[in-house]
Structure 1
Amino acid sequence: MIFITLGSQKFQFNRVLKEVDKLIEKGVIKEQVYAQIGYSDYKPKNYSYENFVDRNTFSKFMDNCDLLITHGGTGAIITGVKKEKKVIAIPRLKKYGEHVDDHKLDIVSQFKDMGFIYAVYDVQELGEALTLIRGMSFKRYHSNTTAVIQIIDDFINLNL
């Protein structure tokens, strides 16, 4: 199953939803698709969606998907990577009225350069990305929370 999450910012991201509809119609996407479309005003014709889902529903879809398509939000990317999902991130762009600036480009590029995700910068390349990502492997996420806690603990103990 493919899970699409477009975040909770008050901006549309219609071009992704439209492209997925086209890819389903062309038979490029054959599996089930579910989307959390946020403030997008395009309503998908060929797959299920809701504007927003609660945390439990979001978690269920994230757990059950094989592939995550996201808007380039840090939270969605990290959640997908932590759950060892294959992630395609498509950054929102200012020129399409999808955000106030192009900071999503930097976020997506960083995660791509670190080897965690597949980045799509032109939505018309999504079909090719869906084919290529199936055979790709990505780096696994390793939390360094324990190391950070140890550093803080050591600092506190040194200063007592």
Structure 2
Amino acid sequence: MIFVTVGSAFPFDRLIQSMDNWAHEAGRGDDCLAQIGRGRYKPAHMKWHETLGHTHLSDTMQKAKLVVAHAGMGSVITAMQHVTPIVLMPRRFEAGEHTTDHQMATARWLEGKPGVFIAWDENDLAAQIKAAEGWAGSDAGLDPFASKDFTDRLNAQLTHWSEG
């Protein structure tokens, strides 16, 4: 199953409509489940829910063979915990999809990491889904813990502030 999620904060009709079109063209609507949020676009070619409770969302992410999502770190981390490949389509500030372009920056940072595939726009989506479905990796690419270098620097800064 391909699980499509837009997160819980903002609608993302461009992603949902693009996935609905892909599901129709690929004949894969029965293989897709979308969590569409409060978007205006309602899929015609794949199953969908506006929201999913935490348990249902976690179970769905665990069962998915592929996740397609906005470039939100919650979706990325969850997919990587389950070693599930993820296709990200970042929201764009210029399109009114978010308040900043931080998802573009997140996608640039994640690009090339094992199991992460970036669809920079709807035209990239089909190719990235194909690449993700062909991914045979076993390492999702992100350590769930901060590096020792980072925690050492953070600890030094906190110690400095507490002594200051």
1:34 counterpart SS class: strand
Q: Note if 1:144 corresponds to 2:149.
A: no
- Say if 1:82 and 1:140, in contact at 8 Å, map to a contact too: no
* Equivalent residue, structure 1, for 2:155: none
Matched pairs, number: 151
Distance 1:124 1:3 in 2: 19
| Residue equivalent to 2:132 | 133
* Partner SS state of residue 26, structure 2: coil
Asked if structure 1 preserves the Cα contact closer than 8 Å seen for 2:66 and 2:132, the reply is no
Please, what TM-score do these two structures have when normalized by structure 1?
0.82
Aligned partners of 1:2, 1:8: CA distance in 2, in Å? 18
Give the match for residue 106 of structure 2.
Answer: 107
Aligned to 2:94: 95
Q: How far 1:121 sits from its partner (Å)?
A: 0.4
Name whichever of 79-88 and 20-29 sits farther off. Answer: 20-29
* CA distance 1:106–1:116, shift in 2 (3 Å): farther
Amino acid aligned to 2:19:
V
- Alignment match, 1:57: 56
Q: Which residue identity lines up with residue 144 of structure 1 in the other structure? A: F
Show the counterpart of 1:158.
none
Contact 1:12 1:97 in 2 (8 A): no
RMSD across aligned positions (CA): 2.5
- Change in CA separation of 1:126 and 1:29 when aligned onto 2, cut-off 3 Å: farther
Separation in 2 of the partners of 1:146 and 1:98?
A: 32
Name the counterpart of 2:5: 5
Query: Taking every aligned residue pair, what percent have the same amino acid on both sides?
Result: 23
Letter in 2 for 1:22: N
The alpha-carbon deviation at position 30 of structure 1 amounts to: 5.8
How far is 1:38 from its partner? 1.1
CA shift at 1:113, angstroms?
4.0
Of stretches 16-25 and 61-70 in structure 1, the one that deviates more from structure 2 is 16-25
1:118 aligned partner: 117
CA contact (8 A) 1:2 1:31 kept: no
Cα drift, residue 144 of structure 1: 3.5
TM, length-normalised to structure 2: 0.80
Rate the CA distance shift 1:45–1:55 in 2: closer, same or farther, 3 A.
same
Deviation at residue 24 of structure 1 after TM alignment:
2.0
Q: Is the 8 A contact 2:29 2:45 kept in 1?
A: no
Conservation of the 8 A alpha-carbon contact between 1:35 and 1:49: yes
Q: Which moved more, 1:20-29 or 1:52-61?
A: 20-29
> For residues 133 and 28 of structure 1, do their structure 2 counterparts lie closer, same or farther at Cα, with a shift above 3 Å needed?
farther
Residue 26 of structure 1 aligns to a residue whose secondary structure is: helix
Moved more, 111-120 or 39-48: 111-120
